[in-house]
Amino acid sequence: MAGSFFRAPSPSERHFIITPIYPANSRETRMVVFLHELGHLVRGADNKWVLTDDGDDSRRSLDNTERIVSACREQIKSLAGLTAAQELQMATTLAQKTPSPSTQN
């Protein structure tokens, strides 16, 4: 709750910048964080992780984030103009199209 996913820290607080491109507590930054973490859980065609483990290595983490932004810049940018109503409509439409686990058997 104290990180840039939820709010912008005050100047006196020590914090790690997720990406200098997007402001803290923005849809863009939240998407970058989500995609970055998802990248640690997905394997590519070569069976290697899409993003390497960055653990406590801030330089590697920033490199991984830059990779995400480079690959997904247009999709991330498209989030900025959405209203809350549009976002809700998209989520509702997606939920209606996605089969529930009980109907997938």
Which of these, 10, 57, 6, 52, lies nearest to 29 by C-alpha position? 6
Radius of gyration of the chain (CA): 16
pLDDT digits (tens, 9 = 90+) for 49-74: 999 998 878 889 899 999 999 999 99
Domain count, the chain: 1
Does 83 map to a domain? Answer: yes
Task: For residue 13, name the pLDDT band (cuts at 50, 70, 90).
Answer: low
Residue 87 has pLDDT above 70, yes or no: yes
Cβ neighbour number for residue 64 with a 10 Å cutoff: 21
Does 2 map to a domain? Answer: no
Parent domain of 84: 27-103
- For Cα atoms 69, 83, 35, give the angle at the middle one, nearest 5 degrees: 25
What is residue 67's three-state secondary structure? helix
Residue 54 and residue 44 in contact, taking contact as beta carbons nearer than 8 Å:
no
Task: For residue 104, name the pLDDT band (cuts at 50, 70, 90).
Answer: low
